Structures are given as structure tokens and as C-alpha cells.
């Protein structure tokens, strides 16, 4: 039985935080192994990368998600009691709620609302004015998803709720003041969500139930409604990830700037190319670095011993850049998606596996639809200048972004 390679040193937390997206793949290459052992936050951790590892971590007989995410992420990013920390039948039952909300027709409605918002905002931009795309995209998506979900915002609340929803993912892994700001934001948002859900439960659902109504009236396996706190967490699990798509939209704009050929192809009106471009943005650029799980019971994999309760991290970014899986993995090539779609264990920007039964994000269709709207709009409906700015990526932050958040100047709507 081979020994799992181990990092030297007492703890690798600082090294991980310096480069969270590339830490696992770099150490895996150093150890020449798809699995290695390290310590994060003084806790023994096994790090995995690659498609085989992605398939492995989806095995419910070997891994659980309960208590796998660090407490600091549960108190900011995910919320406590949400679908991300469930296993087995409880997870599948709760996941069905999200898959039922995020139908193709519902996602299309969300995308159409977002296009209306993009056009409304563009009409307000004046010649000579500069806008920060990431900040604009966050606000547009916040307005859009709240309207779609049945939780429309008063104008006076738009900025606050945009900042709070963004804080849940922008500062989830932060240390110090920003982390506590994210926790305060979650408390405000959960209180707001509860104040929406409680009266919704007292009323009969409408024939075409809004996402708010579906969550408010959802029944668990025992036929009971979710407690008010958990229902609030799950409502935010629809809103928060949608606002986070602003990260991908900002990277889409960066890709258009760096690859003028992509811009020309998008302007040609080829809808299949829009799909290819969006998927390549999701593969190529960093979004979330890893997902976590815990070993259910002792087992062997590839000859390596996995011990019960051990924390395991699966490398998302590194798997999407694995040269064994992707030809010219470090090149931006949308045409790679013209052929058969890659497996659910090779292409994992939002987690591996089947979203209906595994912990892969149920909102992938939302990300693709909203990115497609934004990419078309940037390429076909706007003229703009890109002033001198720092477009290098902040690899030491989660989420990684262009340092300038992508500044645009003299933005004019053309169609």
C-alpha cells in the first residue's frame, strides 16, 4: 500500500491563502500524485485533483458533506442548515426543491429580466463617464434575481442588499474585519428573508408559484415546512449565487478584451459560439477554488488509505486546467466546446457530478444564461473604451477578479 505524500511543515494555511486556486494542483505536481496530505487550519486534510478524484468525491457511500465546510463558510457563504451540508435522502429531497425552481422556463425568464436591466442601466451612462463593470453587474443581477424570486427591492434598499449579498461570497474566506462584516450581512439578510417568508406562508400560493412561494411552502420528508431560519437560508441560496455570476461576467469582458477574435465571433450572431465562449470563460477563469467533504468510513482508493472523518478538498480550478483532460489547457479556446460536452467530472467550475443527485451547483444553468445575455450585450449592443488600468488577476483573493474590476469608459448603447 503506497503512502500518501505529505507536505512538510506544521501547517499550509498561509500558503493556501496566498494562492487558493492553484495551491492544490501545484502541490500535486510537486508530489507527482493526485492526492497528498497537508494541514489547513491545523487540521489534517487530503487534497485531490483530476477527473477520477471528482468522481470519487461524488460517491455518497464514501463521503459526506455534513460538517465538511469550515464554520466560517457556514456562517457567511452557505448559511447554517442549508442544502450544501445535507447528505443522502435529505439532500436529494432538498435538492429537488432547487431543481424544481430552476427549470428551463424559469431560468429563461430570469435571463430575459436581466437583459431588460442591462438596457435600462446602459441608457443612463453618459459620454465621458467611466463605469466599473463588476460593480454594475452585481447591482443588475441583484435587482434581477430579487424581482424574479418574488422579493422585489425598494429603490432605497438596492445598494445595501447588493453589498450584503456580495459580502457573503466576497468575504467568506476573509480573516478579520471583512469576515465579521460578512457575518453581519448574513444576519441582516436572513432577517429580511424571514420577514418575507412568514407572511407568504400565511397566504395561499399563486398558480405560478414564485421561488419565494416555493420555498415558503416546501415540505420536508416528514411533510413539515422548513423552520423559518432554514427557509431563509435556502432563499438566500438562490439569491447569493446569482449575484456571484457577476464574477464570471467580469471575466467574460476581460476575455473579450484580451481575445479580439472572440469579440468578432460573438458579433457575427452565431449563437452556438455564444455557448462555447461562455463555457470556456467558466473553465478558464477562477471562480471557486475547491469543494470539501469528509470521509464516511475507512476505504482504499488507488491503493491509498482514506481514514474516517478526514477532511478532503477537491481541486476545481486545477481540474479545469488539467492537461490530461484538456488539450492546450492553459489557452483560452472556446472552440473546444463545439464537440461533445465534457464529462461532469472533467468540467467542474461549480462542482462535479449530476446536479440532481450530487452536490454540483443547481444554478449552473443560471450562470450560463446570465453570462450569455451579458456577453451578447457587451459584444453586440455596446461601444466602449478600455482605459489604462490594472487587469491582472487577484489570485490571492476569493473570488479572484481583475484588480481594477474592469473599468469601461465612454460606454454607448448602439442597438
Q: Which residue, chain included where needed, has cell 425598494?
A: 154
Average pLDDT of span 227-251 = 98
Q: What is the pLDDT of residues 93-146, one digit of tens each?
A: 999 999 999 999 999 999 999 999 999 999 999 988 999 999 999 999 999 999
Residue 73 near residue 172, CB atoms below 8 Å: yes
- Per-residue pLDDT, 302: 93
Q: Is residue 92 scored above 90 in pLDDT?
A: yes
Q: For 147, what's the count of Cα atoms within 13 Å in the CB-facing half-sphere?
A: 17
Closest to 81 (Cα-Cα) out of 182, 268, 215: 215
Residue 209 near residue 56, CB atoms below 8 Å: no
Q: What is the pLDDT of residues 326-378, one digit of tens each?
A: 999 999 999 999 987 789 999 999 999 999 999 999 999 999 999 999 999 99
User: What is d(CA 69, CA 225) in angstroms, rounded to the nearest whole number?
Assistant: 25
- Per-residue pLDDT, 55: 97
Q: What is the pLDDT of residues 65-91, one digit of tens each?
A: 999 998 889 999 999 999 999 999 999
Closest to 248 (Cα-Cα) out of 384, 114, 409: 114
End-to-end C-alpha distance for the chain, whole angstroms: 64
Strands 299-301 and 63-64: unpaired
Burial 72-106 (b: 16+ CB within 10 A, else e): bbbbbbbbebbbbbbbeeebbebbebbeebbeeeb
User: What is d(CA 235, CA 211) in angstroms, rounded to the nearest whole number?
Assistant: 8
Judge if pTM exceeds 0.85: yes
Q: What is the pLDDT of residues 279-301, one digit of tens each?
A: 999 999 999 999 999 999 999 99
Residue 355 near residue 361, CB atoms below 8 Å: yes
Question: 205-212 contacts: CB < 8 A, separation 24 or more?
Answer: 210/149, 210/150, 211/101, 211/106, 211/148, 211/149, 211/150, 211/235, 211/238, 212/149, 212/150, 212/151
User: What is d(CA 287, CA 274) in angstroms, rounded to the nearest whole number?
Assistant: 19
Distance of CA 88 to the CA centre of its chain: 23
Map out the domains of the chain as residue ranges: 13-413
- Per-residue pLDDT, 260: 95
CATH of 13-413, one of 3.40.50.12500, 1.10.20.140, 1.10.630.10, 3.40.50.300: 1.10.630.10
Handedness of CA 109, 100, 399, 166 (dihedral sign): positive
Measured from the Cβ of residue 121, the count of other Cβ atoms closer than 10 Å reads: 17
Q: Which residue, chain included where needed, has cell 400565511?
A: 202
For residue 300, report the phi and psi dihedrals to the nearest 5 degrees.
-110, 140
Amino acid at each position: 500500500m503506497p503512502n500518501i505524500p505529505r507536505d512538510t511543515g506544521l501547517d499550509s494555511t498561509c500558503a493556501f491563502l496566498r494562492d487558493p486556486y492553484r495551491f492544490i494542483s501545484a502541490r500535486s505536481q510537486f508530489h507527482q500524485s493526485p492526492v497528498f496530505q497537508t494541514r489547513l487550519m491545523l487540521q489534517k486534510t487530503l487534497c485531490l485533483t483530476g477527473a477520477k478524484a471528482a468522481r470519487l468525491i461524488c460517491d455518497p457511500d464514501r463521503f459526506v458533506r455534513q460538517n465538511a465546510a469550515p464554520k466560517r463558510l457556514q456562517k457567511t457563504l452557505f448559511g447554517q442548515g442549508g442544502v450544501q451540508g445535507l447528505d443522502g435522502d435529505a439532500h436529494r429531497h432538498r435538492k429537488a426543491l432547487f431543481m424544481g425552481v430552476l427549470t428551463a422556463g424559469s431560468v429563461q425568464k430570469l435571463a430575459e429580466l436581466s437583459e431588460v436591466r442591462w438596457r435600462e442601466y446602459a441608457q443612463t451612462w453618459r459620454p465621458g463617464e467611466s463605469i466599473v463593470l463588476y460593480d454594475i453587474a452585481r447591482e443588475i443581477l441583484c435587482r434581477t434575481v430579487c424581482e424574479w424570486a418574488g422579493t422585489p427591492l425598494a429603490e432605497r434598499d438596492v445598494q445595501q442588499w447588493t453589498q450584503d449579498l456580495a459580502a457573503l461570497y466576497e468575504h467568506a474566506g476573509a480573516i478579520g474585519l471583512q469576515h465579521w462584516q460578512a457575518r453581519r450581512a448574513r444576519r441582516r439578510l436572513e432577517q429580511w428573508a424571514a420577514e418575507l417568508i412568514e407572511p407568504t406562508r400565511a397566504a395561499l400560493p399563486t398558480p405560478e408559484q414564485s421561488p419565494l412561494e416555493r420555498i415558503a411552502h416546501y415540505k420536508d420528508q416528514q411533510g413539515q415546512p422548513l423552520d423559518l431560519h432554514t427557509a431563509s437560508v435556502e432563499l438566500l441560496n438562490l439569491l447569493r449565487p446569482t449575484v456571484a455570476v457577476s464574477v464570471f461576467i467580469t471575466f467574460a469582458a476581460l476575455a473579450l478584451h484580451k481575445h479580439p477574435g472572440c469579440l468578432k465571433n460573438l458579433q457575427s450572431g452565431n449563437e452556438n459560439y455564444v455557448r462555447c465562449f461562455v463555457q470556456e470563460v467558466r473553465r478558464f477563469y477562477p471562480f471557486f477554488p475547491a469543494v470539501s467533504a469528509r470521509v464516511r468510513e475507512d476505504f482504499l482508493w488507488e491503493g491509498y488509505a482514506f481514514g474516517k472523518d478526514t477532511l478532503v478538498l477537491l481541486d476545481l480550478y486545477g481540474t479545469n486546467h488539467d492537461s490530461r483532460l484538456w488539450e492546450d489547457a492553459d489557452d483560452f479556446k472556446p472552440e473546444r466546446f463545439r464537440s461533445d460536452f465534457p464529462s461532469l467530472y472533467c468540467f467542474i467550475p461549480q462542482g462535479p457530478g449530476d446536479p440532481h443527485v450530487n452536490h454540483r451547483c443547481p444554478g449552473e444553468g443560471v450562470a450560463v444564461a446570465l453570462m450569455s445575455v451579458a456577453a451578447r450585450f457587451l459584444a453586440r449592443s455596446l461601444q466602449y473604451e478600455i482605459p489604462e488600468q490594472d487587469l491582472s488577476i487577484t489570485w490571492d483573493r476569493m473570488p479572484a477578479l481583475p484588480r481594477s474590476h474592469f473599468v469601461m469608459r465612454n460606454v454607448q448603447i448602439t442597438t
